[in-house]
Chains A and B, each alone.
Chain A
Amino acid sequence: EVQLLESGGGLVQPGGSLRLSCAASGFTFSDYAMNWARQAPGKGLEWVSVISGGGGSTYYADSVKGRFTISRDDSKNTLYLQMNSLRAGDTAIYYCAKAGCTSSTCYTNRWGQGTLVTVSS
């Protein structure tokens, strides 16, 4: 059974940093692209970033480009999201999501339960 367990969320001041982690199990992690998406309280879904299987390609939403970095450690079956220069508008539940393909151009077929990031002074 595919499992995705996010961690690392919490309260951070504007301008601060956080690193989210997503521990994956139940599938061959290195074979699949992985995504981060987020959902602000009471709002819709926003795609944040994707990394291809093997990590050769990464892409970002304009709203986070230059501030967030996606990475993966296939030896640890773990996905990361380094978030710097955080703003109030980054407050959201952050979801880790597995793609259905190796390529970054793919749908997401499994989602974690999410971790809440709150940016506030």
Chain B
Amino acid sequence: DIVMTQSPDSLTVSLGERATINCKSSQSVLNSSNNRNYLAWYQQRPGQPPKLLIYWASTREFGVPDRFSGSGSGTDFSLTISSLQAEDAAVYYCQQYYNTPHTFGQGTKVEI
């Protein structure tokens, strides 16, 4: 199984500041045949289901604010929130869908 490890486990960021969450996979999730990284990012607010933010490592889902961006390739990825808003307080998860099981990272809690 591919193990996904996020860092840090939690971070506190001031309003308007930048937040960066890292995600490392135990093996590459890059498909060389189509040059796509099979990596997604989700946001989960308290009491809510997860919401897709980013897929293919860097493609923003429709309707997601452009302050959210994803980067990285192979085994190392990042989610950046460029200017933190109050509604961004949540837990963020990365997930690989390159192989089954489609494993999640342990989550990173972002607090304001």
Contact = CB atoms under 8 A, between A and B. Distances in A.
A108 B104 CA distance: 12
B61 A109 contact: yes
Contacts of A107: 38, 40, 52, 55-56, 95, 97
Interface in A19-45: 35, 44-45
The B interface is mostly helix, strand or loop, or mixed, namely loop
Nearest to A98: B52
Contact of A50 (B50, B56, B102): B102
Nearest to A57: B100
Nearest to B103: A47
B106 interface: yes
B49 A44 contact: no
Contacts of B42: 45
Nearest to A108: B52
A109 B55 contact: yes
Interface residues of B, number: 25
Contact of A105 (B49, B51, B98): B98
B68 interface: no
B107 interface: yes
B64 to A, nearest CB: 11
Contacts of A68: none
B49 A114 contact: yes
Given A44-B93, A47-B95, A104 B100 contact: yes
Contacts of A97: 50
Contacts of A62: 1, 101
Interface in A73-117: 95, 97, 100, 104-114
B104 A47 contact: yes
14 contacts: A35-B102, A44-B91, A44-B105, A44-B107, A46-B104, A59-B101, A62-B101, A95-B50, A97-B50, A107-B56, A109-B52, A110-B52, A111-B50, A114-B49
The 6 A-B residue pairs whose C-beta atoms are closest, nearest first, are: A111-B49, A59-B100, A107-B55, A107-B40, A47-B102, A45-B104
